[in-house]
Structure formats: C-alpha cells, structure tokens
Structure 1
C-alpha cells in the first residue's frame, strides 16, 4: 500500500509541476538536486561548473516535464537529461577529443579496490582524458550500451569500445601506482 501511495504522490507532484506550480518544482529540485549534482560531477571536474550545468538541466526538466510519460522512473528521466546536458556542456567547451580507433581489447580488470575512498575513485576518473572519462561514465556508471553511447556522442561503436578499453587501462595503471605507493614499493 505504501508504494502505491508514494507513487501516486509523485505523479501528483509531477502534474503540479507541469502546471508550473513553483512549490512542486521546488520539491522536485530539493528531492533530486544532491544526487543530480553527483551525476554532473562525474562528468565535470569543477564543482561550480557542474552545479551550473545541473541548474541548466533542471530548467530543461521543468520546461519538458510535460513530456514525461510515467514510463520508467522519474529519477531516471531526470538523470538522462543531466547526462545529456553534461555532454552538451563538454562539447561546447571543446574539451573532448575522441581518437578514432577501432582496435580495442576486452581485457578483464579487477574491480576498483574496496580500500579506495569515493574521493580517490572520483579523482582517478577525473584524471582521465575527457573522451575516455565520458565513455567510461556512460558505460560503467550509467549503464549505456556501446551503440547507445556511439549514437549519443556521434562516434563509431568501435571508438566507444576503444575509449572504454583505454580508460580501464589508465585506471588500472593509476590504481596499481596507488597500491605500490601505499605499500612503499614505488
């Protein structure tokens, strides 16, 4: 019963937001802004720029909320807008360069060590070149498939796979360096 009531309440708030009810919009923003700032931060290193992109994306959320069809989660719909806005921002800044490389390897890498903090993991991801970082985030964090990433970014599917492979290699190298440093072997 509670799940139905919560879902119904969300539908009501969304409908109020469609009708430009500022309190409903504020409620949606308050509920999702922290998580969506985290999403933007995955793509954009500078927290202030990430916040600016998030605010712009929320403006798009409220402008297009009438298009939400209650198919899938509302949070997922918002998240997709955030990711697309981050991609647009990075493109405008011309900070991304995809190397057209059809060769890649499906190497298996260990999962990121559990000893690493979230800050360490984010630091490692931030150190990736923008193209690698964007594909890594879209694939490993957002769960998109390579053909979807290729379509979103206007690249070949092989390029997406190559970028992911290179990102994984760089992350594994950085993790190994951290482990060696912590063990005093470097």
Structure 2
C-alpha cells in the first residue's frame, strides 16, 4: 500500500497540521527560503541578520501554521516575513531610543534626576488616564501595538478586527492620546 504524498502547498500544510511532521514543514519552507531571505535582506540590510531571521521565521511557522488557515502559502509567508522584519526593526529602533534616553540621564546634572523622575511619573499617570478615556477598540489596539509590540496582522488575528480597522483604531487612538496629553499639561 502506498501513501499519497501531498503535492500542493495547501495539502502539505494540512498534512503537517494533522501529523505535526516537521520534515513536511521543512520541505515546504525550503521551496520558499530564497524568497524569505530576499525579503529579509531588503528590510534588514544585513546578511547575518537576514539569515537569523530566516531561522526565526521558520520557528514562527511551526506555531502559526497550526493556528491559521492558509490558502495561499507564498503570499501569506511573504506577509509573515515582512511583518517579522518590521517588528525586528521597530525593536532595534526602540532599543536605540532607550539607549539614548539612558545616556541623556547619565549625562544630566545630578540635581535634575529628581525633577526628571517626578515629571516622568506625572506623564505616565497622565498617559494612563488618557488611555483609559480611549474607546475600547482603540485602547485594545494601542495596547497590542505599542505595549505588546504586535504587528497589524497579529492584532487583526487576535481581535478579529478587519486589518484596515486595526490601522484606523491605532492611528485615531494615537491622535486622541496626543490631544488628551496636550490638554492635561
């Protein structure tokens, strides 16, 4: 008796979901690895970082394919790859910003630390208050995007909001937070 080997991407994904066979997933991913690497190079601009990202994306696939219904694997993988790279860049940018803030604190006069700390605490309290005033959808999306560092697609998947709605909620929430913070000064 011969077992039919899955041929299409969708059949391979279904077989992987049923069996959890990493070899099937590896064979599927291998077909598109050069595309994933190309996208990673485009965004990350570093061969070493791009190669690391290719491995990280495969690790994401192991979990995400179990939880998502994927009809067009190639385009879905492209979006996953792009989002992964954008999140990686955002984390690098925020880490750089945190380092700048840290350096600014270290270089400031000692007597300014208490004033800065008090101002920071006041701003955090104002921000919490302003976040509480947001509409529930905006609050949820802003939290997932800025505090939990989720990408648009991950937010859409977890909230069941349309992708365009997620972008709108984040943009409007950000604008409303800025207005609220300015009014509370």
The bucket for the TM-score relative to the shorter chain is 0.3 to 0.5
Higher relative contact order at CA 8 Å, sep ≥6: structure 1 or structure 2?
A: 1
More helix by share: 2
* TM-score (norm. length: structure 2): 0.45
- For normalisation by structure 1, the TM-score amounts to 0.45
